[in-house]
Amino acid sequence: MTLRARVLGWRPSTPPLPEDLAQLVRPEDPEWFARELAIAVAPPWWFWCLVLRRFSWLVSIFGRVEVTGSIPVELRRGPLLLAVNHIGDFDPFVVAVALHRVGVMPRIMATGGIIGAPVAGPLLERTGAIRVERGTELARHAVRVTEVALVHGGHVVAYPEGRVGLAPDLWPERGRTGMARLALGLRVPVIPVSQWGAHEVLQYGNDKGKLRTLVRALVRRPRLKVHVGPPVYFDDLEMGRVGDASRARMRIAAALTRGLRPLRADELDGPAFVDPTRPTTAVAAFPGGVVPDGIP
């Protein structure tokens, strides 16, 4: 095997898969499924803890990370679903740093293309990231891994919108019901994490402009603002009851929108940073950031 092949095929060691979970793995499942299940039940990887503790300052090179809000100690001890509005490719780094500051070790849901990349992908997988193969039959594996991680007390970061937001004004979209169904089925607390500013660091389009916006951020150092809001409650909703998953989804979108308003108080009508490479093909759940009083 060549050195290049060895480098591209390298991955960190994976903890052993408990016997009870091994029964969930079928011969037809992808080879990474058993690996992700084993990582989901294991304690946070020591290297991931070290990176967040010692090297999170690297994110601050590209902007000033500002974190408001908190998560009660009693909630940090147990499973958490952390709902985040997705505004750009750089925001997972900002969110990971922000959540570490408030006492959370994040396991981030990411697309299969990212986790499948050489070197960086295996590292991301080992941190507890959960692979989402959108639009394929393999998408159900992400739900199974997430359920296992939550049952074992994990802190899972998910984007309810399912992708980078494409509303023209960049307010959160309604998103999908996947997170709502998980929360209702497992009765796991949902913490809204609203964030703003990371969209200025890396443009949406994958061309030379990405490097241009990265250099621009190095010089201007935009404010990378994150607000951790109070839990979203679903005590009056039930899994399987018609309409309740959609109601839960709208409550999550409402909580994200409310938390986002103070972060972009000077940009309520639209973002000051205009990215011409970002499509504007979606509609915000609450255009203009105005949430009706009737939504909890």
Q: Do residues 256 and 192 touch, judged by C-beta distance below 8 A?
A: yes
Q: Mean pLDDT throughout 268-274?
A: 94
Cα distance between residue 78 and residue 24, in whole Å: 23
Q: Mean pLDDT throughout 64-92?
A: 95
3-state secondary structure the chain: CCHHHHHHHCCCCCCCCCHHHHCCCCCCCCHHHHHHHHHHHCCCCHHHHHHHHHCHHHHHHHCEEEEEECCCHHHHCCCEEEEECCCCCCHHHHHHHHHHHCCCCEEEEEEHHHHCCCCHHHHHHHCCCEEECCCCCCHHHHHHHHHHHHHCCCEEEECCCCCCCCCCCCCCECCCCHHHHHHHHHCCCEEEEEEECHHHCCCCCCCCHHHHHHHHHHHHCCEEEEEECCCECCCCCCCCCCCHHHHHHHHHHHHHHHHHHHHHHHHCCCCCCCCCCCCCCCCECCHHHCCCCCCC
The pLDDT tens digits of the residues spanning 216-263 come to: 999 999 999 999 999 999 999 999 999 999 999 999 999 999 999 999
Of the pLDDT bands very low, low, confident and very high (cuts 50, 70, 90), residue 172 is: very high
For residue 221, the number of C-alpha atoms closer than 13 Å in the C-beta half-sphere is: 9
Residue 192 phi/psi, 5° resolution?
-80, 130
Cα distance between residue 144 and residue 130, in whole Å: 10
Report the amino acid identity of residue 44. P
What pLDDT is attached to residue 196?
98
Cβ contacts of 269 within 8 Å, gap of 6 or more = 169, 288
Of the pLDDT bands very low, low, confident and very high (cuts 50, 70, 90), residue 111 is: confident
**Spatial CA neighbour of 286 closest among 258, 267, 265, 263:** 258
**Percentage of residues in the chain having pLDDT higher than 70:** 97
Of the pLDDT bands very low, low, confident and very high (cuts 50, 70, 90), residue 151 is: very high
Q: Quote the pTM value.
A: 0.94
The answer on pLDDT for 187 being more than 60 is: yes
Cα distance between residue 189 and residue 128, in whole Å: 19
What pLDDT is attached to residue 131?
92
What pLDDT is attached to residue 3?
54
CATH numbers and ranges of domains, the chain? 29-265 (3.40.1130)
What pLDDT is attached to residue 220?
96
Report the amino acid identity of residue 258. R
